[in-house]
């Protein structure tokens, strides 16, 4: 057995003196790692050595290695993760209560024209004054979590295979091969469609804009989740639409009863927009029963249901959750999504299945921007034709989960009393409720001066009711840097909350 006294953070044991041999070997090894975890040499979320590495490092049999890990697992010091190995357990975020549920007894207010552009513009221009700030405010993962090299190789293959890719015009609806792959993959989301039912778009945001334009006229009312993605509020504002904010629960998403009431009291609602999987900013995955009810409710009311679904494949569940579209029987659901969060933010490839508005959306897309650039689509078609995407998704989910666990532990120990959050069901966001009265705008400014970028809650609603919330995202693979930034933010929030 390799002698053991001290571990490096990656779990490697450098040569050192032997421990007394009074206990069985598997126990000595378990104790060795227990001390490393206890002293912080191995930290929550760190990967433990693989079984093979453990056996080689300590010169022990598989039975001894397995038994050591069994002891550590039993003592809740490490967790096994399917297909990923063993990790130092992240203690549950003790001390922080779950986010408060919305008060559904309050009837929805009047639908309002959105006035969010100026708030967002001011945030963006403030960001620009601090270009080097660590970005905890974004909505994509760090570039090194995406398969840069594999996509570059796919691009070269695509250009060789299709020499006129850059010079010949493409199909109006987008590349047929990519659409065929997407239609096959849609089966996993519970959606049965053909390639011709899809139109490729410039990211998910163009899909949402097209959907809104297809089903509304300026001045109409659209029911949205509250809080919701600020890009949706910007889209509503730019199209002259009114937003009716429907409360969303941090545990189940859009409150269906509140929506049912709103549909009765506001006959002018022309569309409902929902993010059922990993809602932005809540990180909630809507339970299946709610998804079924939501689709049924909109179908009965004759109101378009715009499903904005870019995060589904980042959910933690063993089986990715289903899309609302899986329950659609009459074309009520317009399904919008993209590869910008899951695979390639730089390529901006999205798509839309327009339900019964498919022909109108095709016409609007043609009038607005013609077909999308071909190169990105063909590259993604190449990449998706193999199982590289599945492998990448598994790795990305794993890395994001490790980052989230580390961040959750840092938030729990460094934010002021009265802070609340519900751990998300996957993805990259934390929606954090600061003690009431704490200004997220003030924290945003103070954090930027310390070199940290966050998203203040002010942009996720037209109502001002989330001004004491912030959205943090897992940004980079440098978890020590992120840890330090979160702790600094916690201290700043504590000062502002006083
Ligand atoms: C819920 C939601 N919808 C749409 C988008 C925009 O997606 P894309 O970058 O694919 O245009 C985002 C990006 O943050 C989002 O969070």
User: pLDDT tens, 378-435?
Assistant: 999 999 988 999 999 999 998 898 889 889 989 999 999 999 988 898 999 999 999 9
The yes/no answer on whether domain 154-388 falls in CATH 3.40.190.10 is: no
Q: Where do runs of H (alpha helix) occur along 370-478? A: 374-384, 388-414, 440-449
Q: Where in the chain is the domain with CATH 3.40.640.10?
A: 154-388
pLDDT at 165 over 80: yes
**Residues 490, 495: Cα–Cα separation, whole Å:** 9
Q: What pTM, to 2 d.p., does this model score?
A: 0.85
Q: Is 99 helix (H, G, I), strand (E, B) or coil?
A: coil
Q: Is residue 204 within 8 Å of residue 339, measured between CB atoms?
A: no
Residue 3 scores a pLDDT above 60? no
Range ranked top by mean pLDDT from 129-138, 345-354, 399-408: 345-354
pLDDT at 93: 54
Instruction: For 249-289, write each residue's pLDDT tens digit.
Output: 999 999 999 999 999 999 999 999 999 999 999 999 999 99
- Tokens encoding 492: 């700043």
CB 287, CB 252: distance < 8 Å: yes
Question: In ligand 1, which atom is closest to the CA atom of 345?
Answer: 9
Q: How far is CA 239 from CA 211, 221, 232, 352, 459, in A?
A: 12, 11, 11, 19, 18
Residues 398/84, Cβ–Cβ less than 8 Å: yes
Our mutation pick for probing the ligand 1 site, out of 200, 210, 279, 308, counting the most ligand atoms within 8 A of Cβ, is 308
CA angle (325, 179, 199) in 5-degree steps: 65
Which of 52, 51, 33, 53 is CA-nearest to residue 43? 33
427 lines ligand 1 (CB under 6 A): no
Give the count of alpha carbons within 13 A of 174, CB side only. 30
Model confidence at 121, in pLDDT bands (50, 70, 90)? confident
Alpha-carbon distance of 110 to 106, in angstroms, equals: 12
Is 50 exceeded by the pLDDT of residue 19? no
3-state secondary structure of 455: strand
CB 489 within 8 A of CB 449: no
Specify the DSSP element, H or E, that contains 470: strand 469-473
* C-alpha of 239 from chain center: 26
Print burial letters for 124-156: b (CB count within 10 Å at least 16), e (below 16).
eeeeeebeebbbbbbbbbbeebbbeebbeebbe
Q: pLDDT value at position 1?
A: 41
In short, whether 139's Cβ falls inside 6 Å of ligand 1 is yes
User: What is d(CA 486, CA 203) in angstroms, rounded to the nearest whole number?
Assistant: 30
pLDDT at 7 over 50: no
> Is the CB of residue 350 below 6 angstroms from any atom belonging to ligand 1?
yes
Distance of alpha carbon 412 from alpha carbon 361, whole angstroms: 46
**pLDDT above 70: residue 498:** yes
* Ligand 1: centre distance to CA 64 (Å): 48
What backbone torsions phi and psi does residue 35 show, to the nearest 5 degrees?
-65, -40
340 close to ligand 1 (CB < 6 Angstrom): yes
The two three-digit tokens of residue 322, written as one number: 């289903």
Residues of the chain with CATH 1.10.10.10: 25-88
Query: Mean pLDDT over residues 13-30, rounded?
Result: 64
Distance of CA 413 to the CA centre of its chain: 23
Going by CA atoms, what residue is nearest to atom 14 of ligand 1? 139
Q: Which residue has the tokens 């890990």?
A: 69
Terminal-residue alpha carbon distance, the chain: 55
- Tell me the C-alpha distance between 256 and 405, whole Å: 30
The encoded tokens of residue 4 equal 């053991």
| 100 pLDDT tier (thresholds 50, 70, 90) | confident
Across the range 365-378, mean pLDDT stands at 96
To test the ligand 1 pocket, which listed residue (208, 274, 281, 310) has its Cβ within 8 A of the most ligand atoms?
310
Instruction: Answer for the pair 334, 306: CB distance below 8 angstroms, yes or no.
Output: yes
The number of angstroms, rounded, from the C-alpha of 181 to the middle of its chain's C-alpha atoms is 23
Which residue, 136, 142, 132, is CA-closest to 346?
Answer: 142
Find out whether 306 and 271 touch, Cβ atoms under 8 Å. Answer: yes
Testing ligand 1's pocket by substitution, the residue of 202, 205, 424 carrying the most ligand atoms inside 8 A of its CB is 205
**Helix pair 479-497, 440-449: axis angle to 10 deg:** 130
Q: Please give the distance, rounded to the nearest whole angstrom, from the Cα atom of residue 69 to the centre of ligand 1.
A: 41
CB 209 within 8 A of CB 239: yes
Ligand 1 near 231 CB (within 6 A): yes
- Mean pLDDT (whole number) for 323-342: 98
SS3 398: helix
Cβ-contact 345, 144 below 8 angstroms: no
Contact 408, 430 (CB under 8 A): yes
Across the chain, mean pLDDT equals 90
Look at domain 25-88 and name its CATH class.
Answer: mainly alpha
Identify which of 412, 411, 409 has the alpha carbon closest to the alpha carbon of residue 472: 411
Residue 324's nearest CA partner among 273, 255, 280, 390 is 273
Q: What are phi and psi of 315, to 5 degrees?
A: -70, 150
Q: Is 225 in the pocket of ligand 1 (CB under 6 A)?
A: no
* Alpha-carbon separation of residue 419 from 21, 28, 262, 497 (angstroms): 47, 40, 31, 10
CA proximity to 224, closest of 403, 461, 450: 461
Distance 307 CA to ligand 1 centre (A): 12
- pLDDT one-digit tens code per residue, 32-62: 998 888 777 888 788 899 999 999 999 999 9
State whether the beta carbon of 338 lies less than 6 angstroms from ligand 1: yes
Do residues 211 and 354 touch, judged by C-beta distance below 8 A? yes
pLDDT for the residue numbered 95 = 53
Q: Which of 235, 273, 280, 311 for a ligand 1 pocket mutation test, highest count of atoms within 8 Å of Cβ?
A: 280
- Give yes or no for residue 204 CB within 6 A of ligand 1: yes
């Amino acid at each position: 057995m390799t002698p053991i006294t001290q571990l490096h953070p990656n779990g490697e044991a450098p040569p050192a003196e032997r421990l007394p041999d009074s206990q069985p070997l598997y126990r000595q090894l378990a104790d060795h790692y227990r001390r490393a975890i206890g002293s912080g040499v191995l930290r929550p979320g760190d990967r433990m050595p693989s079984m093979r590495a453990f056996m080689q490092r300590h010169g022990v049999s598989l039975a001894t290695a397995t038994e050591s890990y069994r002891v550590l697992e039993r003592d809740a010091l490490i967790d096994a993760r399917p297909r990923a190995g063993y990790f130092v357990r992240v203690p549950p975020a003790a001390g922080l209560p779950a986010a408060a549920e919305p008060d559904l007894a309050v009837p929805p207010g009047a639908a309002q024209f959105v006035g969010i552009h100026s708030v967002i513009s001011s945030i963006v221009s403030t960001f620009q004054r601090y270009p080097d700030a660590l970005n905890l405010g974004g909505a994509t993962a760090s570039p090194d979590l995406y398969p840069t090299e594999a996509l570059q190789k796919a691009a070269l293959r695509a250009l060789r295979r299709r020499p006129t890719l850059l010079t010949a015009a493409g199909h109006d609806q987008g590349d047929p091969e990519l659409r065929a792959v997407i239609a096959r993959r849609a089966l996993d989301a519970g959606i049965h469609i053909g390639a011709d039912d899809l139109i490729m778009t410039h990211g998910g945001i163009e899909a949402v804009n097209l959907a809104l334009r297809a089903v509304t006229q300026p001045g109409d009312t659209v029911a949205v989740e509250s809080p919701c993605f600020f890009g949706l509020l910007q889209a509503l504002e730019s199209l002259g639409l009114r937003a009716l904010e429907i409360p969303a629960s941090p545990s189940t998403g859009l409150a269906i009863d509140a929506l049912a009431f709103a549909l009765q009291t506001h006959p002018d609602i022309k569309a409902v927009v929902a993010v059922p999987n990993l809602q932005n900013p809540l990180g909630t995955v809507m339970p299946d029963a709610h998804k079924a009810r939501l689709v049924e409710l909109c179908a009965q009311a004759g109101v378009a249901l715009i499903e904005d679904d870019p995060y589904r494949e980042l959910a933690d569940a063993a089986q990715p959750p289903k899309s609302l579209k899986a329950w659609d029987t009459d074309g009520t659901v317009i399904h919008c999504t993209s590869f910008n969060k899951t695979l390639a933010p730089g390529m901006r490839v999205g798509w839309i299945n327009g339900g019964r508005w498919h022909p109108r959306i095709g016409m609007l897309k043609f009038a607005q921007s013609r077909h999308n650039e071909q190169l990105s689509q063909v590259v993604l078609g190449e990449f998706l034709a193999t199982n590289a995407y599945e492998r990448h998704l598994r790795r990305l989910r794993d890395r994001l989960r490790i980052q989230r666990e580390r961040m959750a532990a840092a938030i729990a120990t460094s934010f002021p009393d009265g802070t609340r959050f519900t751990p998300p069901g996957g993805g990259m966001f934390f929606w954090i409720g600061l003690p009431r009265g704490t200004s997220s705008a003030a924290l945003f400014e103070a954090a930027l001066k310390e070199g940290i970028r966050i998203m203040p809650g002010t942009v996720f609603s037209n109502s001002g009711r989330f001004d004491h919330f912030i959205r943090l995202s897992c940004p980079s693979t440098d978890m020590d840097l992120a840890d330090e930034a979160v702790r600094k933010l916690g201290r700043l929030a504590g000062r502002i909350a006083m």
